[in-house]
Amino acid sequence: MGRPIGMLPAHALTLAACLVAVHEPTLPRTGSIARVAAIPPPAASAAGELTLGGDMPVHRLGFGAMRITGQGIWGEPEDRDGAIALLRRLVDLEVNFIDTADSYGPAVSEELIAEALHPYPPDLVIATKGGLTRPGPGSWQPDCRPERLKRCCDESLLRLKLDAIPLYQLHTVDAKVPLEESVGALAELRDEGKVRHVGLSNAGVEHLRRAQEIVPIASVQNRYSVTARDSEDVLNACQEQGLAFIPWFPLDAGRIGADVLAEIASAHGATPAQVALGWLLRHSDVALPIPGTSSIEHLEENVAAAGVRLTDDDLERLDGLATN
């Protein structure tokens, strides 16, 4: 049985007093005993807010829930309890935008989100996607036929225990299915109330224009980071129209690293990953990064990027990192 707190031995109290004293100088004194409170790192709200679809405000630093599954984004994670704990930590860190997909696992990511967080905090926005099938680990195949998208949406609703999916994204453009047919299915799901807003993923500017002729589009999710900028034209289109742009691989899938990033990070007492995320937040105010991780430590580090304040000189140097 654990010892009640009031019965801590004297040496433990002395040690505790020494530990807290390290943080004390920044806090006001009230009487002879220092008031002690750890200064929390910045939470996701420090990244500012973005309103998705005109009515869903979210903090501008979200979470990508692809990495909480097994290897190859396949099956159950090795540490299931750890994945649940990580998802619950999001709430403490004020992360209120989670990106997932039916194909992550498949099904596993959505199931874990529901298990960890349902009933959901009222401000939590879950974005999921349909349109990719999974023949096996690491393998992805498009299937954006309307009837399949509708079935996938129904299954996501059940797994996520939702009446309506806040943001339902077409995961890809399927070369075998006219975009108008795939987006048409999402428009019908929206009319039926199963989907609140529709988003696109892996789409170009012309896809966006064609989709917008069928249904209002709230967001586009494409690969984009400080070093991978193929989608700059899509980001610009989102910026002009006030749509959210959700960069996937914001950390280049964990490979982010360049001398400039490390130098700027060290000047700010930050990490290269935090600088890469801080750049995205400053580069565009419609950017909603969704760094993915299976580690609570990395999650905390990534969310604390909301507090990194890059200078104009930093931005100029980072702008020069573009490889495309």
Ligand X SMILES: NC(=O)c1ccc[n+]([C@@H]2O[C@H](COP(=O)([O-])OP(=O)(O)OC[C@H]3O[C@@H](n4cnc5c(N)ncnc54)[C@H](OP(=O)(O)O)[C@@H]3O)[C@@H](O)[C@H]2O)c1
- Residue with the shortest CB distance to ligand X: 292
Name which of 53 and 291 has its Cβ closer to ligand X: 291
**Rounded (10°) angle between helices 146-160 and 179-191:** 40
Distance CA 49, CA 28 (A): 31
DSSP state of 251: T
Give the position of tokens 């195949």: 141
Provide the token pair at 34: 């220092």
DSSP state of 120: P
Active site annotation includes 104: yes
- 163 neighbors 157 (Cβ within 8 angstroms): yes
Instruction: Give the nearest distance from C-beta 64 to ligand X in angstroms.
Output: 2
Instruction: Give the nearest distance from C-beta 231 to ligand X in angstroms.
Output: 11
Provide the binding-site residues for ligand X, judged by CB under 6 A: 64-67, 99, 201-202, 221, 248-254, 273, 290-295, 298, 301-302
Choose the catalytic residue: 104, 120, 168, 224. Answer: 104
Q: Tell me the C-alpha to C-alpha distance, in Å, between residue 183 and each of 156, 218, 231, 244.
A: 17, 13, 21, 18
Distance CA 99, CA 55 (A): 18
Phi/psi for 304 (5° steps) reads -65, -15
**What is the maximal distance between C-alpha atoms in the chain?**
74
Distance CA 9, CA 6 (A): 9
Instruction: Give the nearest distance from C-beta 214 to ligand X in angstroms.
Output: 20
Name which of 174 and 301 has its Cβ closer to ligand X: 301
Using alpha carbons, select from 322, 317, 287, 324 the residue that is nearest to residue 305: 287
**Rounded (10°) angle between helices 179-191 and 205-212:** 50
- 250 neighbors 230 (Cβ within 8 angstroms): no
Instruction: Give the nearest distance from C-beta 188 to ligand X in angstroms.
Output: 22
Instruction: Give the nearest distance from C-beta 266 to ligand X in angstroms.
Output: 15
Instruction: Give the nearest distance from C-beta 24 to ligand X in angstroms.
Output: 29
Distance CA 109, CA 84 (A): 10
Catalytic residues: 104
